[in-house]
């Protein structure tokens, strides 16, 4: 294990992967990731203690005019007397049971698990030699990431983790604008350090630049995670696309890939906003996706609620069907779904989250054969409704109907998922319409049978409009799966 930045660079110089994009592009997307399709994300940390607003509480409680600013004063007192750091003793997590969490996620059908190791607030959820502000030394006095890793591996899930520290360069800075507990001088090792002025966070060249001291610390923290927990996948939130991070991203990626080679594992990095070179990791689209199939593999991450990634007392939960449609749309377009759940501050998982996860698992136990291990078909789907390309598009409130179909291929079969059966007893798949010299269908080969997943073979025939299939009604208009068995 590397103990210094110099040692990280020396390992990379001697390893198979070097800190340049051409070398790093040789790591393929892990096969297990392409087959898994569905994972669980958890945002849990100090920001959950107030159970208010969202996971940006540590920033917003220091901005006058923000609801979190007023809430903090009303609940805890002025920020000069009770700052964000004073939430640490309240974060004791008496109900945290890693095995219970992971059992719930596995029952939901997840194949991999991504707990957040460090969020923008800078509190590490793992044992660290680089800062005393971590969950093993403070708060719950437990190595949260270590316990979750062991629980995931024991349950047969792939263990992954994420780091969101890049934004900590500026995340706490507004506390310097009034009389709060965030005061200069701040030094490396201080919880709030460095709290620099907040830039235009989409400006790739914004100043003040992160310093070498800060970037070295960022690199060491990520490499410590890599060495101690051996994740099969890393995830990074935005702002690492800033120009200052580029050489450090290359060093970190090379170190990760070299260490994985020693472990005998294929690993990958999920990233946003073109932070990595195009073929050096896995593009991630937050709360969104693509309009068409893509030749590259990708992931969308979204949350079980529309208004926060952590648990709050006013979550706007998504409907289970909406989440299942997001999964089907991603898989049909050559991607995965990473679904976030926010545990409560005490370590328990709320009943609504449990219900939704249970419903997802029930659906996947019936319909998963066209999901897990599948590939995209020649068409991603058909119908009038389709998400617009880009981030945050799953907040647009699309209404899918029985004409909206998503296709996958697996086991030599084609799978068609009707996104919202609308209580109907028959559907038409236009991609399979009868061959016409003037209008060739997407599929033109003998079909042996059509089976409704979880049911039985159903009546079908092909005419000029398409494959006409009789279906059995399902509860709650869940997406309905059909297996088209080819001769």
| Mean pLDDT of the chain, nearest integer | 96
Please give the pLDDT value at position 438. 79
pLDDT (mean) for 160-171: 98
- Give per-residue pLDDT as tens, 53-67: 999 999 999 999 999
Whether the predicted pLDDT of 8 surpasses 90: yes
pLDDT band at 156 (very low <50, low <70, confident <90, very high): very high
Whether the predicted pLDDT of 476 surpasses 80: no
- Tokens in use for 139? 């708060």
Please give the pLDDT value at position 137. 98
- Enumerate the domain spans of the chain: 5-286, 381-486
pLDDT (mean) for 62-73: 98
Whether the predicted pLDDT of 194 surpasses 90: yes
- Tokens in use for 433? 């319409």
Please give the pLDDT value at position 478. 95
- Give per-residue pLDDT as tens, 88-137: 999 999 999 999 999 999 999 999 999 999 999 999 999 999 999 999 99
Please give the pLDDT value at position 57. 98
- Tokens in use for 472? 């059995």
- Give per-residue pLDDT as tens, 240-275: 999 999 999 999 999 999 999 999 999 999 999 999
Please give the pLDDT value at position 473. 77
Please give the pLDDT value at position 311. 98
* 2.60.40.1180, 3.40.50.720, 1.10.8.80, 3.40.50.300: CATH of 381-486: 2.60.40.1180
Q: Please tell me whether the overall predicted TM-score, pTM, comes out greater than 0.75 for this model.
A: yes
- Give per-residue pLDDT as tens, 287-337: 999 999 999 999 999 999 999 999 999 999 999 999 999 999 999 999 999
* 3.30.1510.10, 1.10.1060.10, 3.10.20.30, 3.20.20.80: CATH of 5-286: 3.20.20.80
Whether the predicted pLDDT of 183 surpasses 80: yes
Could you count the other beta carbons within 10 Å of the beta carbon of residue 406? 29
Please give the pLDDT value at position 397. 87
Please give the pLDDT value at position 201. 80
CB 198 within 8 A of CB 174: yes
Whether the predicted pLDDT of 474 surpasses 80: no
Please give the pLDDT value at position 202. 84
- Tokens in use for 78? 């002025």
User: Across 28-42, 434-448, 463-477, which has the greatest mean pLDDT?
Assistant: 28-42
Please give the pLDDT value at position 285. 97
* Farthest-apart Cα atoms in the chain, separation: 79
Please give the pLDDT value at position 482. 98
Whether the predicted pLDDT of 437 surpasses 80: no
Q: Which neighbouring-strand residues pair with 112?
A: 39, 158
pLDDT (mean) for 451-455: 95
pLDDT (mean) for 195-202: 92
- Tokens in use for 315? 């979550």
Please give the pLDDT value at position 318. 97
Placement of tokens 């991630």 in the chain: 284
């Amino acid at each position: 294990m590397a103990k210094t930045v110099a040692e990280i660079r020396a390992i990379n110089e001697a390893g198979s992967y070097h800190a340049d994009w051409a070398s790093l592009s040789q790591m393929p997307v892990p096969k297990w990731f392409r087959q898994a399709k569905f994972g669980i994300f958890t945002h849990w940390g100090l920001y959950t203690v107030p159970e208010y607003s969202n996971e940006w509480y540590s920033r917003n409680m220091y901005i006058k005019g923000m609801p979190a600013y007023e809430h903090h004063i009303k609940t805890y007192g002025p920020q000069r007397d009770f700052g964000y750091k004073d939430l640490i003793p309240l974060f004791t997590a008496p109900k945290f049971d890693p095995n219970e969490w992971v059992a719930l996620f596995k029952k939901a059908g997840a194949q991999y698990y991504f707990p957040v190791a460090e969020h923008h607030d800078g509190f590490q959820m793992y044992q660290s030699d680089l800062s005393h502000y971590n969950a093993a030394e403070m708060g719950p006095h437990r190595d949260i990431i270590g316990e979750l890793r062991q629980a995931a591996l024991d349950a047969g899930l792939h263990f992954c983790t994420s780091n969101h520290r890049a934004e900590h360069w500026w995340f706490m800075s507004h506390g310097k604008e009034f009389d709060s507990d965030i005061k200069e001088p701040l030094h490396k090792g201080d919880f709030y350090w460095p709290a620099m002025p907040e830039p235009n966070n989409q400006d790739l060249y914004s100043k003040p630049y992160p310093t070498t001291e800060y970037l070295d610390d960022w690199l060491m923290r990520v490499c410590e995670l890599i060495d101690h927990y051996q994740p099969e996948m890393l995830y990074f939130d935005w702002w690492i696309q800033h120009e200052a991070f580029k050489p450090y991203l290359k060093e970190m990626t090379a170190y990760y890939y070299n260490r994985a080679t020693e472990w005998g594992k294929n690993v990958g990095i999920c990233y946003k906003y073109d932070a990595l070179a195009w073929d050096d990791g896995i593009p991630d689209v937050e709360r969104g996706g693509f309009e068409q199939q893509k030749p590259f593999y990708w992931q969308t991450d979204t949350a079980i609620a529309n208004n926060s990634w952590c648990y709050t007392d006013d979550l706007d939960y998504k409907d289970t069907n909406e989440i299942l449609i997001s999964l089907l749309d991603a898989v049909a377009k050559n991607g995965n779904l990473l679904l976030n759940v926010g545990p409560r501050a005490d370590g328990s998982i709320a009943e609504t989250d449990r219900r939704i996860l249970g419903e997802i698992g029930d659906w996947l136990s019936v319909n998963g054969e066209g999901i897990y291990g599948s590939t995209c078909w020649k068409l991603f789907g058909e119908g009038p409704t389709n998400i617009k390309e880009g981030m945050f598009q799953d907040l647009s409130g699309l209404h899918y109907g029985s004409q909206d179909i998503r296709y996958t291929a697996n086991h030599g079969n084609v799978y068609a998922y009707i996104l919202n059966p609308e209580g109907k007893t028959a559907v038409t798949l236009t991609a399979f319409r009868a061959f016409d010299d003037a209008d060739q269908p997407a599929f033109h080969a003998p079909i042996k049978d059509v089976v409704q997943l979880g049911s039985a073979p159903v009546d079908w025939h092909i005419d000029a409009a398409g494959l006409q299939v009789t279906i059995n009604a399902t509860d709650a208009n869940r997406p309905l799966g059909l297996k088209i068995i080819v001769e």
